[in-house]
Amino acid sequence: MYTLLSGLWKYMFQKDEYCILILGLDNAGKTTFLEQTKTKFNRNYKGMNLSKITTTVGLNIGTIDVGSARLMFWDLGGQEELQSLWDKMLEASSLVSVAECYPQQRSFHSSLEGNTCLSVGDIKTAFSDCASKIGKRDCLVQPCSALTGQGVNDGIEWMVKCVIRNIHRPPRQKDIT
């Protein structure tokens, strides 16, 4: 009887799970973004001291519940040695690409170097070369701060709507091209 009631309980209250991959160069703020997300969406999560976050070697995993969806975030280290794993992880329901808005010497677009923060338009321009590879996937450049948490809620809520709406999780190859 317990097994029947336990199964019924799980069936009625289980959430659909979606794997979210967080990618970006090393020290771009991926783990800080994950910590802000967990803090904002998990009531009892106290969070790490953001100033104590160090370079991720390997990966961090975090889970949040948003409405009827459970998002499992995979924060993969950005070191060059780990970047070869990125394409193997693209079976995810969604991808968060963290780009540091204060370009440094390794900037992804050399004409954007300087000490001023990049605008959303500048970031979209830098990623425009990839537009043909994105295909029919939903895409959003969401300004946010991993340090203050500003804009994190908006980005996560948009992503939840997209992954729930997407019939094919993850999108099939023919939907990409």
The domains of the chain are located at 15-170
**pLDDT grade, residue 107 (50/70/90)?**
very low
Annotated binding-site residue? 28 = yes
Q: Report the pLDDT averaged over residues 5-31.
A: 80
**pLDDT grade, residue 170 (50/70/90)?**
low
Annotated binding-site residue? 129 = no
* Residue located via tokens 């029947």: 4
- Tell me the C-alpha distance between 27 and 8, whole Å: 45
Fold of 15-170: Rossmann fold (3.40.50)
Q: Report the pLDDT averaged over residues 140-169.
A: 86
Annotated binding-site residue? 50 = no
Does position 52 have pLDDT exceeding 90, yes or no? Answer: no
The pTM of this model reads: 0.74
Q: Is the peptide bond before 170 cis (omega within 30 degrees of 0)?
A: yes
The reported pLDDT for the residue numbered 88 is 62
Position 100, amino acid: E
The DSSP letter of residue 106 is T
- Tell me the C-alpha distance between 11 and 147, whole Å: 38
Phi, psi (deg, nearest 5) at residue 128: -65, -25
Strand partners, 62: 73
Number of Cβ within 10 Å of residue 107's Cβ equals 17
What are the structure tokens assigned to 176, written together?
């990409």
Annotated binding-site residue? 155 = no
The reported pLDDT for the residue numbered 36 is 93
Does position 136 have pLDDT exceeding 80, yes or no? Answer: no
What's the 3-state SS for 124-155?
A: HHHHHHHHHHHCCCCCCCCCCCCCCCCCHHHH
Annotated binding-site residue? 37 = no
- Tell me the C-alpha distance between 164 and 68, whole Å: 9
Helices (H) and strands (E) in the chain, counts: 7, 4
Annotated binding-site residue? 125 = no
Side-chain-side CA neighbours of residue 130 (13 Å): 10
Annotated binding-site residue? 58 = no
- Tell me the C-alpha distance between 104 and 100, whole Å: 9
Annotated binding-site residue? 29 = yes
What are the structure tokens assigned to 68, written together?
């009827």
Annotated binding-site residue? 122 = no
Annotated binding-site residue? 25 = yes
